[in-house]
Structure 1
C-alpha cells in the first residue's frame, strides 16, 4: 500500500541552509559605563585636580608619630572600658536619665578650637575668607569677609560661602563615636552676631552610603548689637537636604547618632561678618510637644 504524496505543504528549509557561514553573532565589547553612573562617587571640588594616588601612597610613615598614636589610643581604650562600668557616656544611670540640660561645645581655651574646622570658597578659588580664634571672654569668634565673585575655573557658576563645622568625636583606634541626644528635644545656642542670617546644619549617621551627604538644617537669625541672645531651636524644625537640595521625602532627625554640627553663611551680601559663640548645648523643653513640623508622605496613610 503506497502513501499519497503531500503536495500542498510548503517546502521546509533548515536554518543552516539560510546562514551556512555564521551561526552566532560576533562578541560585543563591554560598554564603558562611567563610575559615577553606577555608584555615587566622592565629591570633587570644582577646579581641583582628581587625586589618583593609591590608598597606601597617601600614608605618611613616621616612627615617633606612630608611638605617640599608640600611647594615645591605649589611653582612650582604657577610658572607654572604665566609662562602661560607670554608666552611659561615663555618667551614673540615674544622672543620665534625669539630665535636662547639657553643654556639648564651649570655648574655654585654645584646645577647644581644635574641635572645629573652618572652610570657605577660597578653597575652590573664591575670594571669601574665614577665621576662627578665641575671643576676649573665652568665646569662639568666627570672622572674615564674604565675596560672591565666582572663581574663573570654567565650572563654578555660584560662589560666596563660609562655614564652621565641628569634628566628629573619635574613640580608641579612630573608632567613630556619636552624640546621643535622645533625652533632649531642643538645641540651645548662646551667640552674638552682626545681624546676618546663618544656617545651622546637623549631620547624623546614616545606614546607606548614598545618604552620607544628608544634612538637617534650620535658620539662625542674629539681631546684631552688643547683647547676647539665647536661641532655642527644636529638633522638629530641622528639615532634610542632600548636597544643598531640600528633599521632598522628609523625616525627622534621628537623635541617637549625631556626628557634627555646623554653621554656614551664604546670604550673598558681600562684606565683613562675625559670629561669636559662647556655648552650644541641648535641653529638654517640656512645653514643646511637636514631633515633626513638616508634611510626611506615606504610601499607606493611616485611616
Structure 2
C-alpha cells in the first residue's frame, strides 16, 4: 500500500469519526436516563439514600386497615354534614362576614399532635429542639439549643437549624385538606420570644412535581422579655423560595390552598432558645391595601 493510500485512509477515518461523534451528540439528549430528566426528591447532605421499592414501605396489617376504613368513613360523613351547613361547618352569613379566624391554638396535649419538630440532629448535627405545653396548658413552648457545628461527614458544610411545622391535614381516604384564606390578607400571631429572629414558612399546594419544594417565607422578630407581642404579617410580604434559595420569578402567596405553616430558627448564634406561642390566626386588615411587595416580571413586556 502506497503512502498516498494510507493518507487517504487516515483522512477518511477522521471524517467518519467526527460524523459519528456529531450524531451521538445530537442523539444523546434522547437516550439519557430517566433519573436525570425527573427531579429527584430532596436529600439532606449526609443522609444516606434509601434504596427501597414503593411496595416495601406498605404495612400490610388487617386490623390497621379496618381502623382506617372506619376513620375515613367518619371523616366522609363529617364532610357531607359540613357541606349542608356551610363552609367549614359555619353558616354562610357568618362565613362571609368573618374578619378574624383562629387556625391553631394550644389548649391541651392533643393540640401538640398536630405539629412536628425537627433539627439538624437528623443529619448528624448537634442542635436540639423540643416542644411542650406552657403554663396552665394554654400555650405551646418551643425550646432547645442551637449548635452551628457541622457534622463530620465530609459533605455537609453548614449546619444549625431547628424547625417546628404543622402536619398536613387530611380529609377522608387520605386526601389533602387545604386552608382557604382568600378572605384574609394578614397572618396574626401572639408570641413571646427571647429576642431571636425566626423564619415563618408557609407551603401551598402546587400544580407540578418540581414545585413541591416551593415555600413562602417571611421574618418574625421577637422582642424578648416577659411581655406578649401581637404580630401581624401581611401575606403580600411573603417571598417565594425553593429549597432555601430566593427565586427571581416572584408571585403572590396562593391563599386558596395553604397546606402547612412552620417556624425555623437558623441565626447561627449558638446557645439556648425558646419561643412561646399562644395562637396562630388570620385576619382581614382593611388598612392594608398592598397587593404584592416585590417586583413581578412581565412575560410580554410592553413596547
Pair in the same fold by TM > 0.5: yes
Q: How does 1:82-101 map to 2 (within 5 A)?
A: 82-101=81-100
Match of 2:16 in 1: none
Tell me the distance in 1 between the aligned counterparts of 2:61 and 2:116: 25
Match of 1:44 in 2: 43
Tell me the distance in 2 between the aligned counterparts of 1:101 and 1:297: 33
Match of 1:193 in 2: 193
Q: Which has the larger radius of gyration?
A: 1
Gapped regions of structure 1 (runs ≥ 5):
1-17, 19-24
TM-score w.r.t. the length of structure 1 is: 0.88
Displacement of 1:261 in angstroms is: 0.3
Gapped regions of structure 2 (runs ≥ 5):
1-11, 13-19
Tell me the distance in 1 between the aligned counterparts of 2:48 and 2:195: 37
Matched, 1:255 2:255: yes
Match of 2:110 in 1: 111
Is the Cα contact below 8 Å between 1:35 and 1:41 reproduced in 2?
no
Q: How does 1:268-287 map to 2 (within 5 A)?
A: 268-287=268-287
Superposed CA deviations along residues 174-199 of structure 1, whole A, max 9, x for unmatched, are 01110000000000000000000000
Match of 1:128 in 2: 127
TM-align CA RMSD = 2.2
Count of residues in correspondence between the two structures? 282
Tell me the distance in 2 between the aligned counterparts of 1:120 and 1:67: 35
Tell me the distance in 2 between the aligned counterparts of 1:36 and 1:223: 47
Tell me the distance in 2 between the aligned counterparts of 1:267 and 1:36: 35
Displacement of 1:33 in angstroms is: 3.5
Tell me the distance in 2 between the aligned counterparts of 1:142 and 1:120: 12
Tell me the distance in 1 between the aligned counterparts of 2:263 and 2:270: 18
Tell me the distance in 2 between the aligned counterparts of 1:119 and 1:108: 22
Displacement of 1:56 in angstroms is: 1.2
Ranges of 4+ aligned residues in structure 1 off by more than 6 Å: none
SS in 2 for 1:241: strand
CA distance 1:34–1:269, shift in 2 (3 Å): farther
CA distance 1:229–1:302, shift in 2 (3 Å): farther
TM-score w.r.t. the length of structure 2 is: 0.88
